[in-house]
A and B are shown apart, each in its own frame.
Chain A
Amino acid sequence: MGQFIGFAFWAVTVMAMGYTALVIADPHGRARNFEALGLSFLIGTGVMTIEMFFMSLLGIRFSPGRIVLPWCLIIPAVSFILKPWRVNRFEFRFPVLNRIEWLLSSGILFEALYALFRAGIKPFESYDSVAIYALKAKIFYFAGMVPKDFFSMLPAHFHGAHPDYPFYMSLGITSIYCFIGAFNDFLGALFLPMIFCAFLAVFHAVLKNILMSRTRALLYTFMLVSVQQFNAYAANGYTDLPLGAFFGLAVMYLYMAFTREEAAYMRSGMIFTLLALWTKNEGLALLLIMIFVVTLFAVRHRQQFFKLIKPSAACIPGIFLMTGVFLFMKVKDKVINENFNLSMVTAHNLASGLSKVPMILYEYQKHLFGFKKWNLIWMILVLALVIFRRKIRSGKIGYVALAVGLFFIFYSAMYVFSSVDSDYLLRTTGSRFMLHILPVCVFLIALLERE
Chain B
Amino acid sequence: MKLSRALFIKLLAALWVVIWMNFILRDLTLGKKFSEYSSLLRRDAEQRRSLIYGDELYSFLNFSSGNVPSGASYELAGLDPFSLEYRRAAYYLYPRVPSGSPDYILAYHSQGYSRPGYAVLKEKDKAGLILKKE
- List A residues at the B interface (Cβ < 8 Å): 117-118, 121-125, 127, 130-131, 134-135, 138-139, 142, 157-160, 186, 219, 223, 226, 228, 371-372, 375-376, 380, 449
The answer to whether B95 has its CB under 8 Å from any CB of chain A is yes
Whether B45 lies near A121 (C-beta < 8 A) is: no
Which residues in A have their C-beta under 8 angstroms from that of B13?
Answer: 219
B88 neighbours in A (Cβ, 8 Å): 125, 130
| Cβ contacts under 8 Å, A226 to chain B | 16, 20
Neighbour of B37 across the interface among A121, A157, A223, A375, CB < 8 A = A121
B13, B16, B84, B97 — which one has the most chain A CB atoms within 10 A of its CB?
B16
Contact of A131 among B19, B91, B95 (CB under 8 A): B91
- Complex Cα distance, B95 from A6, in Å, reads 23
Is the CB of B48 closer than 8 A to any CB of chain A?
A: yes
CA of A130 to CA of B57 in the docked complex: distance in angstroms?
15
Shortest Cβ distance from residue B93 to the other chain A in the assembled complex, whole angstroms: 10
Decide if B97 touches A123 in the complex (CB within 8 Å).
no
Q: What 7 pairs between A and B have smallest CB-CB spacing?
A: A130-B91, A131-B87, A157-B97, A226-B20, A130-B87, A125-B52, A135-B91
Q: Which residues of the partner chain A approach B23 to less than 8 Å between Cβ atoms?
A: 228, 371-372
If A121-B41, A123-B52, A157-B97 touch, does A380 touch B91 (CB 8 Å cutoff)?
A: no
Q: Are A375 and B48 in contact (CB under 8 A)?
A: no
Q: Which residue of A lies closest to B71 (CB)?
A: A142
CA distance A134 to B92 in the complex (A): 10
A142–B94 Cα gap in the complex (Å)? 9
Kindly state the separation between the CA atoms of A86 and B57 in the bound complex, as whole angstroms: 59
Q: Check if B127 is an interface residue, CB within 8 A of chain A.
A: no
Partner of B81, one of A138, A142, A159, A449: A159
List of A residues within 8 angstroms of B97 by Cβ: 157-158
Interface string of B56-82 (1 = CB under 8 A from A): 000000000000000000000000011
Cβ of B49 under 8 Å from chain A? yes
Closest A residue, CB atoms, query B33? A118
Nearest opposing residue in chain B for A186, CB measure: B45
| Complex A-B: 10 CB contacts under 8 Å | A122-B49, A130-B84, A131-B87, A134-B91, A139-B94, A157-B97, A158-B97, A219-B13, A226-B20, A380-B12
Residues of B contacting A228 with CB < 8 Å? Answer: 20, 23-24
> Could you tell me if A375 and B20 are in contact, using CB atoms closer than 8 angstroms?
yes
CB-CB contacts below 8 Å: B22-61 with A: 23-24, 37, 40-41, 45, 48-49, 52-53
Residues of B within 8 A of A134 (CB): 91
For the complex, is B99 an interface residue (Cβ under 8 Å from A)? Answer: yes
Contact between A122 and B52, CB atoms less than 8 A apart: yes
A117 to chain B: which residues have CB within 8 Å?
37
Given A121-B48, A138-B94, do A157 and B99 touch, yes or no (CB 8 Å)? yes
- What's the minimum C-beta distance from A151 to chain B, rounded to whole angstroms? 15
Give chain A nearest CB distance to B110 CB in angstroms. Answer: 21
Quick check: is B3 within 8 A (CB to CB) of the other chain?
no
Across the interface, which residues of A come within 8 angstroms of B84, CB to CB? Answer: 127, 130
- With a CB–CB cut-off of 8 A, which chain B residues contact A186? 45, 48
Other 9 A-B pairs with CB < 8 A, given A122-B48, A135-B90: A122-B40, A125-B52, A130-B88, A130-B91, A134-B91, A135-B91, A138-B95, A228-B23, A375-B19
Complex interface: chain B residues within 8 A of A371 (CB): 19, 23
Most buried by B among A122, A127, A160: A122
B99 to chain A, nearest CB (A): 6
Task: Give the complex CA separation of A219 and B87 in angstroms.
Answer: 40
**Distance to closest chain A CB from B109 (angstroms):** 20
At the interface, yes or no: B15 with Cβ under 8 Å from chain A?
yes
- Are A375 and B16 interface neighbours, CB within 8 A? yes
With a cutoff of 8 Å between Cβ atoms, the chain B residues found around residue A130 in the complex are: 84, 87-88, 90-91
Query: B45 — which chain A residues lie within 8 A by C-beta?
Result: 123, 186
A158 and B16 in contact, given A121-B40, A125-B88, A186-B45 (Cβ under 8 angstroms): no
CA distance A139 to B131 in the complex (A): 25
B47 CB to nearest chain A CB (Å): 11
Residues of chain B from 1 to 19 with CB closer than 8 A to chain A in the complex: 9, 12-13, 15-16, 19
Q: How far is the CA of A324 from the CA of B106 in the complex (A)?
A: 42
Q: Are A376 and B98 in contact (CB under 8 A)?
A: no
Measured CB to CB, the nearest residue on chain A to B95 is A142
CA A125 to CA B58, docked complex, whole Å: 12
User: Within 8 Å CB of B90, what residues of A?
Assistant: 130-131, 135, 158
Contacts of A159 in B (CB 8 A): 81
Q: Which residues of chain A have C-beta atoms less than 8 A from B40's C-beta?
A: 121-122
A291 to B95, CA, bound (A): 42
Q: Which residues of B contact A125 (CB under 8 A)?
A: 52-53, 88
Cα distance, A44 to B61, chains bound together (Å): 36
Residues of A within 8 A of B53 (CB): 125
Contacts of A223 in B (CB 8 A): 16
